């Protein structure tokens, strides 16, 4: 039987499908259902954007979905930010990083 600290460090490979492509992702033990739910959400969002026909290319669609989900998370954490929460700071940094990657991608670099 694994002790609690060993269980926290254990990871399992989990297969998910996004836009018809299969990905195997390392997932902390016990979080597989959450990962699959997350993958379904990303897949649904990517399909919605792809089907709108406004954005072409899996990479661009993925960036737009990442920005949309980061924005949604940031909005839901807005009250924590006013409290100085460390999670809000991480979300803010992640958003800045995504914006920098998007700018670099759009400028061709």
pLDDT of res. 94: 76
Q: What is the domain range of residue 28?
A: 1-54
- Domain boundary pick from 12, 27, 54: 54
**Per-residue pLDDT reduced to its tens digit, 1-43:** 445 555 557 999 999 999 999 999 999 999 999 999 999 999 9
Both tokens of residue 74? 């940031």
Partner residues linked to 25 by β-bridges: 14
Indicate whether 24 and 12 sit together in one domain.
yes
pLDDT of residue 75: 86
Residues 85 and 108 in one domain: yes
Other C-beta atoms within 10 Å of 91: how many?
Answer: 21
Report helix, strand or coil for 22: strand
Task: Report how far residue 100's alpha carbon sits from residue 53's, in angstroms, rounded to the nearest whole number.
Answer: 25
Count of structural domains, the chain: 2
Residue 2, φ and ψ in degrees, nearest 5: -80, 140
- Residue (of 33, 15, 32) closest to 24 by Cα position: 15
Tell me what pLDDT residue 63 has: 94
pTM (two decimals): 0.63
Q: Output the pLDDT for position 66.
A: 93
Same domain (yes/no): 72, 106: yes
Which of 54, 73, 95 is the last residue in one of the domains? 54
- The percent of residues above 90 in pLDDT, for the chain, comes to 53
pLDDT at 79 over 70: no
pLDDT the model gives residue 96: 75
State the chain's mean pLDDT as an integer.
Answer: 82
CATH number of the domain at 44, please: 3.30.160.880
């Amino acid at each position: 039987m694994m002790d609690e600290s060993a269980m926290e460090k254990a990871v399992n490979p989990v297969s998910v499908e996004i836009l018809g492509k299969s990905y195997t992702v390392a997932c902390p033990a016990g979080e597989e259902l959450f990962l699959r739910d997350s993958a379904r959400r990303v897949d649904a969002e990517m399909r919605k954007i792809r089907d709108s026909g406004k954005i072409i290319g899996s990479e661009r669609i993925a960036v737009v979905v990442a920005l949309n989900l980061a924005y949604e998370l940031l909005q839901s954490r807005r009250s924590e930010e006013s409290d100085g929460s460390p999670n809000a700071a991480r979300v803010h940094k992640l958003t800045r990083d995504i914006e920098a990657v998007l700018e670099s991608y759009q400028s061709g670099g």
